[in-house]
């Protein structure tokens, strides 16, 4: 079976800067992989690349069988990206946002309701406009959208940031459930204790290349990092 993520020498330019400078990464279906690295290492860029939101300047980049260099569009509806910025409409309520984005991904609107309940958004908050929510509550709405869309690949950028401890535990539970159901998860985190427990495999990115990867059977030489 083809890997969910297959990158070979993938290069991404932000302006003229190579934020990814030749990334090799293979992730199989059902894996939970933690991506770690210092600020500016390229974690967000790698997640955005896999979401079909970043142009591939050179190298091979296939996600869910889609050749991103040829046309990344088909992958976007099949992945869920939880990023720093949310895509939510401030003037719409929580319910309207979750239902809108769920429908946009051609998923079942019944799943939108169930995801809201799961994220603690089914009560008073359901009819509140997103503009009135706290940062953590917005994060929960973005997560509800992700859960309702049932993506094949979860791309989580600092998923624990801004959440209370119950919310952090909930994210971890959702990730494990998603992987058990066959989804693949790539998460970037500075919360190493929590992320290490959650993800059996740890990949380190430094200066836009993979510096370490503890995937069984794979050796990445530390001296390949710039
Ligand atoms: N718009 C841009 N133009 C040029 N360079 C950029 C731009 N955005 C980001 N970069 C650079 O690309 C590199 C990778 O950034 P990226 O956001 O992927 O890092 P990161 O590992 O997610 O960092 P952090 O841990 O701080 O979130 C950084 O060196 C950053 O300075």
89, 130 Cβ separation under 8 angstroms = yes
User: Quick check: is 22 in a domain?
Assistant: no
Q: How far apart are CA 79 and CA 155, in angstroms?
A: 7
pLDDT digits (tens, 9 = 90+) for 85-101: 878 999 999 999 999 99
Residue 44 Cβ inside 6 Å of ligand 1? The answer reads yes
User: Quick check: is 222 in a domain?
Assistant: no
pTM score: 0.92
Determine the pLDDT at residue 221.
53
User: Quick check: is 165 in a domain?
Assistant: no
User: Quick check: is 182 in a domain?
Assistant: no
- Nearest Cα neighbor of 179 from 75, 77, 32, 79 is 32
Atom of ligand 1 nearest to the CA of 208: 14
Residues of the chain with pLDDT under 50: 222-226
Determine the pLDDT at residue 84.
83
Determine the pLDDT at residue 225.
45
Residue 206 Cβ inside 6 Å of ligand 1? The answer reads no
41 C-alpha vs ligand 1 centroid, how far in Å?
7
35 C-alpha vs ligand 1 centroid, how far in Å?
15
Residue 18 Cβ inside 6 Å of ligand 1? The answer reads no
Backbone φ and ψ for 92, nearest 5 degrees, come out as -100, 155
Strands (E), the chain: 5-14, 17-27, 32-36, 58-63, 66-67, 79-82, 153-157, 184-188, 201-206, 209-213
User: Quick check: is 98 in a domain?
Assistant: yes
User: Quick check: is 32 in a domain?
Assistant: no
Total number of domains constituting the chain: 1
212 C-alpha vs ligand 1 centroid, how far in Å?
19
- In angstroms, the Cα distances linking 37 to 109, 144, 177 are 37, 27, 26
| DSSP secondary structure letter of residue 223 | G
Please tell me the residue having the least CA distance from ligand 1 atom 1.
14
18 C-alpha vs ligand 1 centroid, how far in Å?
10
Residue 37 Cβ inside 6 Å of ligand 1? The answer reads yes
- Nearest Cα neighbor of 96 from 132, 134, 136, 130 is 130
User: Quick check: is 146 in a domain?
Assistant: yes
176 C-alpha vs ligand 1 centroid, how far in Å?
28
Strands 201-206 and 17-27: unpaired
Please tell me the residue having the least CA distance from ligand 1 atom 16.
42
Domain that holds residue 104: 89-150
188, 47 Cβ separation under 8 angstroms = yes
11 C-alpha vs ligand 1 centroid, how far in Å?
14
User: Quick check: is 170 in a domain?
Assistant: no
């Amino acid at each position: 079976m083809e890997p969910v993520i297959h990158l070979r020498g993938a290069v991404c330019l932000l302006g003229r800067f190579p934020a990814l400078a030749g990334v090799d990464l293979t992730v199989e279906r059902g894996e939970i992989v933690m991506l770690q690295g210092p600020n500016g290492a390229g974690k967000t860029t790698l997640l955005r690349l896999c979401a079909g939101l970043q142009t591939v300047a050179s190298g091979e980049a296939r996600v869910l069988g889609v050749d991103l260099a040829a046309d990344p569009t088909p992958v976007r509806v099949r992945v869920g990206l939880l990023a720093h910025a949310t895509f939510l409409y401030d003037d719409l309520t929580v319910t309207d946002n979750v239902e809108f984005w769920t429908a946009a991904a051609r998923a079942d609107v019944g799943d939108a309701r169930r995801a809201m309940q799961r994220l603690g958004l089914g009560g008073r908050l359901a009819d509140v406009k997103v503009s009135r929510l706290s940062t953590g509550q917005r994060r929960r709405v973005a997560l509800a959208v992700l859960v309702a869309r049932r993506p094949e690949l979860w791309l989580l950028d600092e998923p624990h940031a801004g959440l209370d401890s119950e919310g952090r535990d909930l994210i971890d539970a959702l990730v494990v459930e998603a992987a058990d159901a066959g989804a693949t998860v790539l998460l970037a985190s500075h919360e190493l204790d929590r992320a290490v427990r959650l993800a059996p495999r740890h990949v380190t990115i430094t200066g836009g290349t993979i510096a370490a990867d503890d995937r069984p059977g794979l050796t990445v030489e530390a001296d390949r990092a710039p």
